[in-house]
């Protein structure tokens, strides 16, 4: 079996490449980055945002499974051209392989729980999101990635040689991760300036990159995952995560709790005159009580998380990194 990967220069795509090559698998990589230093793969240079049929056809030659991990995280103006138009171009190339060469191809789509959007009311309202929840993305990244998902799912309904699996993870973390907000939170704990906001039991929604890679590979090989959408999040209580960070850092676990209403008033007042490390968006993240259910992938594929997020903290804080989360091919 041969695998094709887009976004291999990114945090997740690179880890996926390394895992597959360590298993001795044949891997094609589509990237726009010349000189990509990923060992043991065949590299094809192309930009999904630009028409390049010959490069896409060459990349897909003899590929049985496509992992579509490419993504643009920072520049809103580039997201539609990559996530939507780029997915259309890659699907068209896959379609040529299916119809002209009469080949079966399975597509594994890396998406995001952002497809379901924030809580409809207050951020601190408790809710459980599952695959049955109605997508309601907000923000250019989330909207364009959700459109990309639907393009892939729709094509699986009209082309019998094409199957797909869509995985929607929560915040992906691990050694070398680019999630700077996580490190900022950890530094606040280490510095003794972290405090809880609101009265509820906030939920930390993270998944370790190794667990995500394992889930991606599981969906590539198990027919029970074909034409399915799976959520993946190893949720824990925020105070469990903070306590683990404090324990690893050798500091006392924080206990101060500030009313949410008071903090929002203060942020609203002072953010007009000075740039604050605490924003309304950050407050939302600290008070959120949304749980992302991973029951389906556990029940249907027998997937199990390798360790809890608090148990993974020592490894994550020993090697902080600045790698890209996802990379445009």
The alpha carbon of 202 is separated from its chain's Cα centroid by a whole number of angstroms, namely 21
- In the chain, how many domains are there? 1
Q: How far apart are CA 70 and CA 68, in angstroms?
A: 6
Measure the CA dihedral 58/59/65/69, to 10°: -150
Asked whether residue 288 is assigned to any structural domain, the reply reads no
The alpha carbon of 120 is separated from its chain's Cα centroid by a whole number of angstroms, namely 22
CATH number at residue 17: 3.40.50.720
Asked whether residue 186 is assigned to any structural domain, the reply reads no
> What residue numbers bound the domain in which 74 lies?
2-170+206-232+293-305
- What confidence score (pLDDT) does residue 112 get? 97
Asked whether residue 9 is assigned to any structural domain, the reply reads yes
Strand ranges (DSSP E) for the chain? 2-6, 26-31, 42-45, 65-68, 105-110, 126-129, 162-169, 171-173, 196-197, 203-204, 206-208, 228-232, 236-237, 257-258, 289-292
Asked whether residue 85 is assigned to any structural domain, the reply reads yes
pLDDT tier at 53, thresholds 50, 70, 90: confident
Asked whether residue 188 is assigned to any structural domain, the reply reads no
The pair of structure tokens assigned to 70 is 């490419």
- What confidence score (pLDDT) does residue 319 get? 57
Asked whether residue 66 is assigned to any structural domain, the reply reads yes
Percent residues over pLDDT 90 in the chain: 78
Q: pTM of the prediction?
A: 0.93
Asked whether residue 32 is assigned to any structural domain, the reply reads yes
Asked whether residue 250 is assigned to any structural domain, the reply reads no
Q: How far apart are CA 223 and CA 106, in angstroms?
A: 10
240-294 pLDDT, tens digit each: 999 999 999 999 999 999 999 999 999 888 877 777 778 888 999 999 999 999 9
């Amino acid at each position: 079996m041969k695998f094709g990967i887009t976004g291999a220069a990114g945090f997740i795509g690179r880890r996926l490449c390394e895992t597959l090559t360590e298993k001795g698998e044949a891997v094609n990589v589509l990237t726009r980055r010349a000189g990509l230093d990923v060992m043991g793969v065949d590299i094809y240079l192309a930009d999904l945002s630009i028409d390049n049929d010959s490069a896409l056809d060459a990349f897909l030659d003899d590929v049985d499974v496509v992992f579509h991990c490419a993504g643009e995280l920072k520049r809103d103006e580039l997201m539609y051209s990559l996530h939507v138009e780029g997915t259309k171009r890659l699907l068209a190339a896959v379609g040529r392989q299916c119809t002209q060469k009469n080949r079966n191809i399975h597509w594994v789509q890396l998406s995001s729980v952002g497809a379901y959007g924030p809580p409809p009311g207050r951020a601190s309202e408790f809710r459980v999101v599952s695959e049955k929840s109605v997508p309601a993305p907000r923000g250019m990244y989330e909207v364009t990635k959700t459109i990309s998902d639907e393009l892939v799912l729709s094509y699986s309904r009209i082309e019998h040689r094409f199957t797909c699996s869509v995985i929607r993870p929560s915040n992906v973390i691990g050694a070398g991760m680019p999630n700077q907000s996580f490190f900022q939170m950890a530094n606040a704990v280490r510095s003794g300036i972290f405090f809880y906001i609101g009265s509820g039991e906030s939920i930390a929604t993270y998944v370790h990159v190794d667990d995500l890679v394992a889930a991606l590979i599981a969906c590539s090989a198990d027919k029970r995952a074909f034409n399915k959408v799976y959520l993946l999040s190893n949720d824990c209580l925020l105070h469990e995560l903070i306590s683990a960070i404090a324990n690893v850092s050798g500091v006392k676990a924080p206990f101060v709790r500030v009313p949410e209403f008071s903090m929002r008033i203060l942020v609203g007042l002072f953010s007009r005159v000075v740039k604050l490390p605490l924003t309304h968006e950050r407050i939302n993240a600290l008070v959120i009580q949304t749980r992302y259910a991973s029951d389906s992938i556990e029940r249907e594929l027998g997937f199990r998380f390798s360790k809890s997020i608090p148990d993974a903290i020592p490894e994550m804080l020993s090697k902080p990194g600045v790698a890209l989360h996802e990379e445009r091919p």
